[in-house]
Amino acid sequence: MIRKALSWIAFIVIAIITVSIANNLLTYRVSREAGVQFGPYSEYSGVIGIRTEYSDGSGTYRGIGKTCDSLGLDFAIITDRNTVHPMKANLAHRFGITLIIPAVEISSPEQSGHFFVIGDSVPLLPGSGITVDSVRHNALSKGDMVILTRGNVYANGLNRNTSEFTGMEIYNFANGWRSDLNFLGINKLIATYCVYGFQSKALNYLLQYPGREMKEFDDLTRVRKVVGIGSLNAIANVGLGKKTSLHIPSYASQFNLVHNIIVTKVQFNGRYEHDREVLLAALRNGNCFVAFSGLEHARGFLFTAASDTTVVMMGDSIRLNGNVRLNIEMPDSNQVETQVVRNGAVIKTYNDVGSISFTVSSPGAYRVQAFQKRTMLPFFTKRSFPWILSNPIYVYR
């Protein structure tokens, strides 16, 4: 009986590995190098949410910089948990083309104690009479960004109508796949890690549309401006004991999955301080979008709005004086569904359309989300994968 059970387990594991490898070979991927400059706009892509050996990660600043540079990333914001040592040690630098920017993840058992602080100053840390509320207020008073993590404003004990935070994670890779662990989700997780040693692209199987986070994001943007970012929560460190750990999933494989792409009219010029300021200003203003780049790069996406005298992009506001024209440029691809969302409701859907333009006459927070249909595990059926999540354009009377 035991032998038969072990035989079945071995058969299932071999089948999963075989199917996964075959699936990687059959999966359609567009091989395309998109330009980062078009018209008056430039795009720069990078990753947010990395932890190093200064907290509970496994990588060094130099190693992460080398990896990011090899992947062609323009920036990496490192968010070690509850430590400001990298900031005080002046570890901010450029590695190749990549800006390496130290930041902090505040993680506290207090109700409102989970957020990134990204900016120019060295933030306070909770403890010894310093509450997380005072950390947050101090950061905001200095002009730093406070980005709520774990995607739940209400769980953080904050009023959505206030300006107690700059933005929120609309996607977190590590939290995303954990929240999907139903029966099929467990099978998908097992399959992913069985094939991971053969093909790190298998991590794409774990990507899910963040429905709960996007609903909350839409609720917030109906009330006030909120910036949405995507993070990885990348530590590349699975502990097997006090002295043993596995460095999986690797930083490189995770850095290919979820990118934040800024859109700016001010180009990088190679000077660290200048380029860092351009990057932080774009993030602070929401002139950016989240791209799930594991299957295909999303560079070349642009979402703008125009009136008679004004042109704005995602993250900006525009006055409704009659009509406003929304313009969307999609990267070249196929099997793509593009949705336009107003105040949380899908108002238009397009399939395989590269350029979209239409007028609106109602105020609201308008954003764009796009999905790719790809053949994936477990049954070689087409599944809709998230590809692009934009920040809104705020149309007001």
User: Would you say the C-alpha torsion 181, 71, 99, 225 has a positive or negative sign?
Assistant: negative
Print the domain residue range for 272.
35-296
| pLDDT band, residue 35 (cuts 50/70/90) | very low
Amino acid identity, position 165: F
Q: pTM score, two decimals?
A: 0.88
Does 158 map to a domain?
yes
Q: Give the chain's length.
A: 397
Q: 230-255 pLDDT, tens per residue?
A: 999 888 776 555 565 666 688 988 89
* Residue 37 host element (H or E): strand 37-38
Does 75 map to a domain?
yes
pLDDT at residue number 382: 78
CA-to-CA distance for 360 and 331, rounded, in angstroms?
23
φ/ψ (deg, to 5) at 131 = -85, 165
CA-to-CA distance for 393 and 265, rounded, in angstroms?
17
Does 214 map to a domain?
yes
Does 89 map to a domain?
yes
CA-to-CA distance for 157 and 286, rounded, in angstroms?
23
Say whether pLDDT at 91 is over 60.
yes
Q: Are 211 and 180 in contact (CB under 8 A)?
A: no
CB under 8 Å to 381, separation ≥6 — which residues?
A: 375
Does 379 map to a domain?
no
Does 330 map to a domain?
no
As a whole number, mean pLDDT of residues 130-148 equals 94
Number of domains in the chain: 1
Assign residue 73 the CATH number of its domain: 3.20.20.140
Helix (H, G, I), strand (E, B) or coil at 9: helix
Does 368 map to a domain?
no
Closest CA to 304 of 229, 397, 226, 367: 367
Does 361 map to a domain?
no
As a whole number, mean pLDDT of residues 126-133 equals 88
Q: Are 73 and 253 in contact (CB under 8 A)?
A: no
